[in-house]
Structure 1
């Protein structure tokens, strides 16, 4: 299913017994997905841009997972790495008034992932999720596979379905 061209995909796992919580969730759901590992550079300034560059993928197709606090509740926003999260649009998308980025330590404890490896899939506590509407323009998108240096490629429809997300224009170029 890989749409990355010459990049050799790593076959999806046959059983959900190994991998990150994200890859386990994907395998258990029975959807088509492809793992794309890359060598993470600890000095990289942007995890998402690093992934897009390392994998040779347009940054509009690589999505970053951000955790925000909307009126006291944590919410996940999934937006292209080529842009930024519009906090006002996120608050509006979930019926809130005010949004701010969540404390990174709280995001890590709640999702079970480390910053730079937070996946929208397989989180410890399922949070309300909003996927930027631009993701639907692509046949496949890439999101964190649950650790730094691993992205997974899947259809945006499967991403939305598996996370229980709504879609809204929450990203800014």
Structure 2
């Protein structure tokens, strides 16, 4: 996969990180439809790829104090996040989906455009094991309508993600 510079006038924190780390990636832009019921499925359809290789970034509330209060789960867009599996991966009894406003504050990105890369504050991250079955996966580039294609091993390394089966049905 050839490295491609971000095509917009300014890069996002995610593309800046990938450039700085010399990680091969490609940028894929599409026109986001505000009426789309699912940001991730919209991205897969717009890019013409299987939903199994497009991953969404979800934040969970851990119930822990301070910096550990939120954690990141990265799962395919056509699946849900299994909260019990996510809690177990974090060594916790329970987690719940984070408040969207808290997720935006924590990551510096807007809902529907939260990238797992270069978030404002680093959080513990768990990547669904299915990502490693694909040669290339797509993740948000930092805003709605922008996806980045990269090797899942690079995503795992850059986010320091723990790999577990966390995707539900």
Q: TM-score band (shorter)?
A: over 0.9
Partner of 1:100: 96
Partner of 2:42: 50
- Shift, 1:106, TM fit: 0.4
What is the number of equivalent residue pairs in this alignment?
Answer: 164
In the alignment, the residues of structure 2 paired with residue 151 and residue 43 of structure 1 have an alpha-carbon distance, to the nearest angstrom, of 18
- Does 2:31 match 1:39? yes
Within 5 Å, which residues of 2 pair with 1:19-98? 19-72=11-64, 73-98=69-94
- Does 2:4 match 1:11? yes
Unaligned runs of 5+ in 2: none
Deviations 1:72-104 (A, max 9, x none): 320000000011000000000010111100000
In the alignment, the residues of structure 1 paired with residue 89 and residue 44 of structure 2 have an alpha-carbon distance, to the nearest angstrom, of 27
In the alignment, the residues of structure 2 paired with residue 13 and residue 32 of structure 1 have an alpha-carbon distance, to the nearest angstrom, of 12
- Kept in 2, the 8 Å contact 1:71–1:96? The answer is no
Moved over 6 A (4+): none
- Kept in 2, the 8 Å contact 1:70–1:97? The answer is no
SS in 2 for 1:60: helix
In the alignment, the residues of structure 2 paired with residue 109 and residue 38 of structure 1 have an alpha-carbon distance, to the nearest angstrom, of 25
Partner of 2:146: 150
In the alignment, the residues of structure 1 paired with residue 99 and residue 6 of structure 2 have an alpha-carbon distance, to the nearest angstrom, of 33
Unaligned runs of 5+ in 1: 3-9
The structure that is helix-richer by fraction is 2
- Shift, 1:11, TM fit: 2.2
